[in-house]
Amino acid sequence: MGLLDDKVAIVTGAGNGIGRATALAFAREGARVVVNDVGAARDGSGEDASAAEAVVSEIRRAGGEAVASHDSVSKPDSAAAIVETALAAFGGLDVLVNNAGILRDKTLLKMDLDMWSAVLEVHLTGSFLCLQAAARAMKDRGTRGSIVNTTSLSGMLGNFGQANYAAAKAGIYGLTRTASIELQRYGIRVNAVAPVAKTRMTEDLPMFEKIEDTLSAEHVAPVHVFLASDLAHDVSGAVVSVAGSRVSVYKVVESAGKLKDGERGIWTAREIAEHFDVISKI
């Protein structure tokens, strides 16, 4: 018995890297998989249907069930079409993994509006549109589903040359937290994964130059399987980080702070400066 037997899953950006590894892992665990990928280059340019088709063929050769989707995540109609592909092919939807993404790195002062907008459109807007379409389908069918978004180290901590990407990924954190609250009433769990892995998106970054198999996409896929499965039936609103063999959880932490005595509790700027070490202490 597989952990995802009888479940229908969509994985966006599943033609390469983490998405491909996750689609294959889902199929091995018994899921019927919609392999979504437009087949674009790393910067989002171009289209190539063969990326998704190759993963579908790989799943079928191994005895699994899969269909391809070449729709973009970043437009309402095409995001809805991805969900409709699952409903038409397999009769339902239990799992969505929002994994599709592009990179257009540039330092803040050199980044133009197109670079900014393109990355937010795919990562943040795409995650919202696919999440919304999937949640509507799950709600209408009474499915206690699982939605897994993708944030990143950049989104949690920031990164040089990635203002667009970091802003999108930070937005996905907020989207995940809010969706987990709103969809709880329908039994729909919403979590996020913040992966560190050597893929087509990251292979030329300095930190990955000498890394072969210690930070691979295959390290990330089991976290997706866990969050998609009933093993995580009580997990929602979590951001799970995976970097090779290390798995952790990100949490926003507020300091204890300091109360202002007297004067209606209104601080002066100089008083804040004087006590800032205490105010900010975790």
**Per-residue DSSP letter, 106:** B
pLDDT by 10s per residue, the chain, length 282: 899 999 999 999 999 999 999 999 999 999 999 999 998 887 776 778 999 999 999 999 999 999 999 999 999 999 999 999 999 999 999 999 999 999 999 999 999 999 999 999 999 999 999 999 999 999 999 999 999 999 999 999 999 999 999 999 999 999 999 999 999 999 999 999 999 864 445 545 555 455 556 778 899 999 999 999 999 999 999 999 999 889 999 999 999 999 998 768 999 999 999 999 999 999
How far is residue 47's CA from residue 100's CA, in Å, rounded to a whole number?
Answer: 14
Against a cut of 0.85, is the pTM above it? yes
| Residue 265 falls in which region: left (phi positive, over 0), alpha (psi -120 to 50) or beta | left
Average pLDDT, the chain: 93
How far is residue 166's CA from residue 224's CA, in Å, rounded to a whole number?
Answer: 21
E strands along the chain, which residues?
A: 8-12, 32-36, 65-69, 95-97, 146-150, 189-196, 239-243, 246-250
**Topology of the domain comprising 8-251:** Rossmann fold (3.40.50)
Domain ranges within the chain, ordered by starting residue: 8-251, 254-282
How far is residue 11's CA from residue 96's CA, in Å, rounded to a whole number?
Answer: 6
How far is residue 90's CA from residue 84's CA, in Å, rounded to a whole number?
Answer: 10
Query: Does residue 165 carry a catalytic annotation?
Result: yes
Q: Please give the pLDDT value at position 40.
A: 82
What tokens were used for 77?
A: 């109609």
Looking at 165, 173, 186, 250, which residue is catalytic?
165
How far is residue 244's CA from residue 22's CA, in Å, rounded to a whole number?
Answer: 15
For 35-50, b where at least 16 C-beta lie within 10 A, e where not — what string?
bbbbbbebebeeeeee
Residue type, 117: S
